[in-house]
Amino acid sequence: MWKSRLRSFYILSALIAGLFISCSRPGDIANQSGLPGTAQLMQLTGPWALYENQLCAKVECTGDPRENAPLLLTEVNPPRYGTYVMHLELPDDWKNRSLALQLYDVGTAYSLYVDGVDLGGKGQEATESGAEIPDSIPAIYQFWSGETLTIEVRFSNFSHPRGGLRKAPLLGPASMVLNFRERSILRNVLSLGVILGMAFYHFGLFLNRRSDRASLLFGLVCLSWSIRMLFTDEVMVRTIWPLGYGLQTSIEYISFILAGPLFVAFLSATFPVKGSQWLARINLGLGGLASLFILVTPVLIYADYLWVFHILILISVICSIYIWIVSVISKKSGAIPSLAGGVVACLMAVNDVLFYRGQSPVGPLFHYGLLIFILAQSYLLARMFAMAYEAVRKLSENLKNTNASLARFVPSELLRMLGRSDITQVNLGDQVQESMTVMFTDIRSFTTLSEKMSPEENFNFLNSYLRRMTPLVNNQGGFVDKYIGDAVMALFPGKPDDGLRAAIEMQREIRVYNRHRALKGYQPISIGVGVHTGDIMLGIIGHENRMEGTVISDTVNTASRIERLTRKYGVMIVISDAALAALQDPDDFEIRLLGRVKVKGRSTALQVFHVLSGYSEDVRALYLSTRSRFEEAVNMALSGQYPEAARAFEEVLQANPMDSAAHFYLERMQRAGVAELAG
């Protein structure tokens, strides 16, 4: 699923990039000072005449102007106010029609005059610092042209160390200028939307996985650049939030300064190569100090240190290149796409510089380079996230398989009773008390049988036997607590009927198993089953380094002793009176009284019962035919009426010579010296 989402995400990004390109036609701009052809707009890069320290109309200005004056005044002690003048001869198709002039950043307040007509301006220019109202926001001015054109820009700059026309104005037919600006705004809005969307997307990733520092840092990089886009070019933030010149400029500078250190920190978190953490800390520290300097000083002071801020960005670029190169050499996953995006952005930034200097025919392209750069880094994070997701999926699958494997050693039912969802949550001493049915089974004469087999045959036999018995326990809602050699201890948390039904099914399965053994020439086997119901303690015992789940209680000991009674009486299934009393559907089973015994570990005797339901039909019919007489004989023996009991047991044996329990009672009474036996 993540692959499909990732693919859809980048298809959408490619479509947006295509829309950017369709919104910008660089050929619409003439990148030269001469007049363009009619299909182009003209950038007014020069020649401009500058009347320094004069705010005047051309006809009123005194003295000789500064010819071919630079647009950006960067010299030491530049003029704080003045008037730029340009005179143009218009081509025929521009004469006597609606034209428009777009002014970008003029530092720091200005008024525009065309052919002596005041078209407006931004802020309030003045000849004194206290009288100036600084403002800097692009604007378009429309006017009706004549044969020639005289443009005057009266500016003042008491709020920034660099003044003048910081970017060449754009001239052309009004419809073309407006259309060009609309495309530029659309391109910026789309770019801003994509980058801001990237920021919040990666913030969301971080909020859902707090250990993912790379997503947080990349989100901050995107957010920083989004803020810069809001505060530069068209200054889109001014359309929704009026800002003073000082605050606007401070945010513009800080967003520019912090983008580099944040990106170094992002690369450091993504590609933790040697020294990258220190480089990230140093860059963030320098960026923080520069931002603090901007916050506590006015624009006129900190803007004079733009070269220092450029050095800080250059340091960030060098650190980024170092991390990229080391990551590529170390074959870090995703390093090459990340580096490629950075190279493309740098090349397009260089192209824009050349374009605005008239040395490149293509531009501006940095917006596209920035988009490619952001997408490359986002692809890197998305790939890392996908790989992390895949690793988690595999880890989850392995953990699931591990838990399934551990469940073969520690029953999952036991974990549920302890209130644990998996084995990793089990602690030494965890315990719970429950009332349930305990069943013990044992193979008769297993020692004698195993002596005739090799170790491998022993294990094969036991596994073959247990493979048949264990599902019968599970099918009745029980679970095997442990295997003790050939013995099986099973627990039934539900009805006692479940344990008894499992015991009956086991005896039936033994008959099927014996037929299978006979076909292979093996001797048949028989098992005894003891069932008892009562309170038990389930818990975890051992040591912190070696634990196991176990059951501790008198109920377990009693069930084990009852199973041993099957050998004594020569029967297959014996249950206690407690198990019989707890049966919810006793009529579903055929049971006869077997006797009363005092098992080891108990102070009182308990009654035990012989379950007849596990025998084949013909054998069970014999037992049922003598059940009443057998129970009478048992009651007489228990009450001390031995001669009468002996005669009754002999009657039982005449009808059913296979009744081992009747044989047991007769032999016991004979050893006790009972004289009167029926004849």
> Model confidence over 112-165: pLDDT tens digits?
999 999 999 999 999 998 899 998 788 999 999 988 999 999 999 999 988 899
pLDDT at position 10 is 41
Q: Is pLDDT larger for residue 520 or for residue 354?
A: 520
Q: Give tens-digit pLDDT for 443-479.
A: 988 888 888 888 888 888 899 999 999 999 999 988 8
CB 537 within 8 A of CB 553: yes
Residue 21 has pLDDT above 60, yes or no: no
Average pLDDT, the chain: 83
Q: pLDDT tier at 404 (50, 70, 90 boundaries)?
A: low
Q: What angle do CA 544, 545, 551 make, to 5 degrees?
A: 65
| pLDDT at residue 367 in the model | 67
Q: Is the pLDDT of residue 553 over 90?
A: no
Tens-place pLDDT, residues 659-673? 999 999 998 888 776
Is residue 8 predicted with pLDDT exceeding 50? no
Q: What is the mean pLDDT of residues 261-281?
A: 91
**pLDDT score, position 306:** 85
Mean pLDDT of the region 489-515: 92
- pLDDT at residue 233, rounded to an integer: 77
d(Cα 579, Cα 575) in Å, to the nearest integer? 6
Reported as a pLDDT band with limits 50, 70 and 90, residue 209 is confident
Is pLDDT at 174 greater than 90 in this prediction? yes
Can you give the pLDDT at residue 132? Answer: 93
E-assigned strands of 572-637? 573-576, 591-597, 606-611
Give all domains of the chain, ordered by start, each with its CATH number. Answer: 2-24+186-389 (1.20.1070), 46-167 (2.60.120.260), 412-585 (3.30.70.1230)
Q: Which pLDDT score is estimated for 198?
A: 83
Average pLDDT over residues 592-599: 88
**pLDDT given for residue 15 in this prediction:** 37
19 vs 152, residue with greater confidence = 152
The percent of residues in the chain predicted with pLDDT above 90, rounded, is: 37
* Across 501-507, average pLDDT: 94
Q: Whole-angstrom distance between the N-terminal and C-terminal Cα of the chain?
A: 86
Residue written as tokens 């005194």? 62
Is residue 555 predicted with pLDDT exceeding 80? yes
Question: How far is the C-alpha of 452 from the C-alpha of 119, rounded, in Å?
Answer: 116
Of the ranges 268-282, 380-394, 466-480, which one carries the lowest mean pLDDT score? Answer: 380-394
pLDDT at 440 over 80: yes
Closest CA to 583 of 475, 482, 495: 495
Taking alpha carbons only, the member of 573, 674, 565, 582 closest to residue 619 is 573
Q: What number of CA atoms fall less than 13 Å from residue 608's CA on the CB side?
A: 29
**Tokens for 137?**
């926001």
Please give the pLDDT value at position 355: 63
Q: Which residue has the tokens 């389930």?
A: 538
**With 90 as the cut, is the pLDDT of residue 244 above it?**
no
pLDDT at residue 640, rounded to an integer: 86
Is pLDDT of 34 > 70? no
- Give the distance, in angstroms, between the CA of residue 153 and the centroid of all CA atoms in the same chain: 58
Q: Does the pLDDT at position 424 exceed 60? A: no
Any residues with CB less than 8 A from the CB of 247 and at least 6 apart, and which? Answer: none
Query: What is the per-residue pLDDT for 154?
Result: 95
Residue percentage of the chain with pLDDT more than 70: 84
pLDDT of residue 475: 92
Higher pLDDT, 555 or 400: 555
pTM for the full model?
A: 0.60
Q: What is the 3-state secondary structure (H, E, C) of 408-436?
A: CCCCHHHHHHCCCCCHHHCCCCCEEEEEE
